[in-house]
A and B are shown apart, each in its own frame.
Chain A
Amino acid sequence: MPIGNVQPSVRPARTGRTDGAAGATTRRGGARPRRGGGLRSERYAPYVLVAPAVLIIVLLRLYPLLLGVNFSFTGDGDRNGVAVGFDNYLELFRDPLFRTALGNVGLLVLLLPVAVAIPGLLATFIYLRVPGHRLYRGVYFFPAVLSPVIVGAIFNLLLAFDGPLNSLLGAVGVAPVDWLGDPDLAMFMVVGVHVWATFGMGLVVFLAGFATLDAALLDAARMDGASLPQVIWHVIVPGLSRTIQFVFVTTMIGMLTSMFGLLYVMTSGGPEGSTYLPEYYIWIQQGQMNRPALASAASTILFVIMLVVGLLQIKLLSRAGREA
C-alpha cells in the first residue's frame, strides 16, 4: 500500500536527517556554477528523473486500484459492464456473511492487546534471564518460519474431534470439544493459532527494544525493592512505549492481511460461516461464485479499512516520535 511506503514505520530519525541535509548541501553547491547555461533543461531534469518511479506507482499501483474501485460500481453476470451505482455495496451490507466478516475484523481488533501482550511478556522473561532463556528465544521464534498452510495442517490434526487434544481432555475426564466445528469457538481457535505462529516476530522486535532499555533503571528499581509486576509496569512498559506501539501496528496489519492461509486450511470460513474474514469473502466471490464486481466492492471496503488503519498508524507513530 502506498501509505506504508510514504512513511517508514521505524524512524531512527536524527542520523538519517543529518545525512540528507549534508547530501542536499553538496548538490546545491555543485549545481551553482552551471546555473546560467542549462536553465531550461535543468528545470525539467527533476521531473524526468522521478518519472520512472512515478510511472511505476501510477501504472502498477494507482491505476489497478482505481480500476478495482471502478469495477465495484459495475454489475456481474447479465449486468456485466453496466453501471449499477451502489448496488454491490448494498448487497454486501445486506449479506449476513459479509457482516460476519466485518464483525470478525472487529473481533481481531479486540484481541489485539492479547496478541501483543504475549510476545511482550515472554520477551520480558527472556530479558530478565529466566533459566533457559537462550533455548526459549530460539523455540519461540521457530513457528514464525513455518508457512501458514503447514501450521494449519498441524493444528487441524491436533484439534480434530478425535484428535490428541480431545484424547488428553478425555483422559482427565473432560468431555470432548469440537474445537473447529463450534461456531462460537472456531474463530478464537484460528486467531490463537495465528498468534502462536506469528508472535515470534513481535518477540524479536521486543528483544531489540529491550536492548535500548537503560539497565541502570532496572537495577535502581530492584534496589528500591520493586516487585516483578512493579518493575514491568513502572519501568519496562514506559521505557518500551515506542516498541509496543510498533508491535501493535504490525500485529494488526498481520492479522488483517495474512490469515487467509490459516482460514483456508483450518476452517474454510466455516462452521456456519463464522470464521469469514473480508479477504476470504473476496476470494470466494471472485473464484467460486464468479462475482468479480461484488468482489471488487468488498476489496474496496477492505482497502478503506486498511487505509484507516494505515492513517492511524502514521498518527500514532508520529505522536510517539514527538513524545520521545
Chain B
Amino acid sequence: MKQRAMWSAVLVVGLALTGCGSATGSDPSPGGSADKLVVWDWKSGEASAAPYIEKAKADFAKKHPNVPVEFVAQPFDQYYTLLGAAIQSGKGPDVILFNGGGQIRDRVDALVPLDEYVAEDRQRLAGWDAFTKDGKTYAGPVTLQGHPIYYNKALYEKAGLDPARPAATWTEFVANCAAIAKAGAKCFALGNKEGAGIQFWLSGLGSGILTAQEYDNWIAGKRDWSSPNVKRVFQLWKEAGDAGLNNDGANSTAMFNDGFAIFQSAKAAHVIGLMSDVGHWQDFNEFLTADKLGVMDAPVVTAGTTPSLAYDGGIGYGVAKWTKDPTVAADLVRALTSTEALKAFYTGAGAIAADTTIDVSQGGPAVATIVSEIKSGKPALHVALSSKTLDLMGRLSQQLLSGSITVDEVVKQLAASDQAG
C-alpha cells in the first residue's frame, strides 16, 4: 500500500516536471576558474607532444606571465562524452581541443567565436574551414588532417609496374590492381569495422569522381545525392569490394590500426590514410622505409575532373563560452598555434602542422608530396556531413560490402539523413 502511494507520488511529481529544464544545461554560468586557464585535450599526456606544449606555454608566458596554464589530458575514447558532461554543467575547461568538422560544429553553442582574435594568423595557417560554422571561426587549427592515397613502391616493382608513375585514371588503376593481385597482394588495405573506411573512400577518391562544381556545392551544403557522380562513389565502393580489391573481412577489420597494419606489412599495395597522428606517412615510413612509400593523386573516374588532395583542419583549440576573459584564452590558442610550437609538434608527433611555412624536406618524398599539394587542396567531402549521416553511411557501407543493399537505396537513405540535419 505504502509502496503504491510512493509510486503515485513519484508519478505526479514526474508528470508535473515533464518537459521542464533541458538536457544540455540552458544557461551556462561563468564557471572558468578565476586565476588560471585549464586546457582539455587528449594529446598533452603523450611524450611526443611534450616539446610542443613546452614551446606553447613559454610563448603564452611572455604575454601573460601571471596566468598559470594547466593541461588536462583526457582519454580520447571518452573525450567527447566527458566534454558533453562539462558542457551540460556549463563549467569546465577554458580552452578545448577539438577535431575539425562535425565534432566542433555540433558544439559551437558552448564556444566563443575567435575571428577578432586570430585575424593575424589567417594567412599563416591553413585549415580554418573545418572549425568554421555559419561564417564564424571557433578554433585555431593545429594540424591538418586529410586523406592522401599512399602506395607501396616495392609492391609496384614486384608487380612489374613503374613506381614513379601510378595510375592516373580508374581504368588504369584497376588494371594495375590486377597486376598487383598476380604478385600476391591486395589492392586496398581496408578497415571498415567502425564504418570509417567509406569516409576515407569518399574523401580520398571524391575529387576524381565529382566535377569541380559538384565538389564545391557539396562542401557548401548543396548536396545532390541523386547525381550520377555521387552514386558512382558508392558504386565503385561496391565494385571494389565485389572484385576482391580489398583485403578479406574488411567489415570486421578495425581501421585503427589493423587496416593500416595490412598496408604496413605489404599485404596490400594502397591505403587511403591520414596525414597526421596515426595511419600516416611517419608510421608507414617506419615499416616500408621512406623511399618505398609514395603518395598518388586520386585516379580520374569522371573525365574532366582535376584530382586534388582532400584535407581540413585536423585538430584545433577553441575557447569555451564560460571562460572568464576570452582575450586571455584566445592568446593561449594563438600561442598553441605559433610557428615555433607547431614546428615542435611536426617534429615530435609527425603531424602535418597547420603552419605551411614549416620545412618538411627531412620527412621523405611522401610528406613532401603531401605538403606540396596543400595549396591546391580542397576540404574533404565527408567532413561536411553530420556525425549522424556519417554513422549511417558507415553502416550502409558495410551493407554494400556484404551485398544486402543496393546503391540506389544507400543514396536515398543518405539523402534523407542529410536533409534532416
Contacts and interface: CB of A to CB of B under 8 A. Distances in A.
Interface string B365-409: 000000000000000000000011001001100110010100000
B193 A292 contact: no
Contacts of A323: none
Nearest to A159: B252
B342 interface: no
Interface string A70-106: 1101111100111111000000000001000000000
Interface in A231-277: 267-268, 270-273
Interface string B18-62: 111111101000000000000000000000000000000000000
The secondary structure that dominates the B interface is helix
Contacts of B26: 80-81
Nearest to B81: A287
Interface stretch (B9-17, B282-290, B333-341): B9-17
Give the residue among B19, B81, B391, B404 with the most A Cβ atoms within 10 A.
B19
A168 to B, nearest CB: 16
A113 B194 CA distance: 32
Contact of A180 (B19, B194, B252, B391): B252
Nearest to B105: A290
A25 interface: no
A283 interface: yes
A66 B252 CA distance: 39
Interface in A27-55: none
Interface residues of B, number: 40
A64 to B, nearest CB: 12
B20 A70 contact: yes
B195 interface: yes
B176 interface: no
A161 interface: yes
B391 A284 contact: yes
Contact of B194 (A186, A268, A283): A268
Contact of B248 (A161, A182, A287): A161
A66 B10 contact: yes
A84 B18 CA distance: 10
Contacts of B24: 76, 80-81, 292-293
A316 B258 CA distance: 47
A287 B77 CA distance: 10
Given A85-B19, A270-B194, A288-B391, A69 B404 contact: no
A73 B181 CA distance: 56
Given A71-B21, A80-B22, A272-B399, 5 more contacts: A66-B10, A73-B18, A84-B19, A271-B252, A272-B395
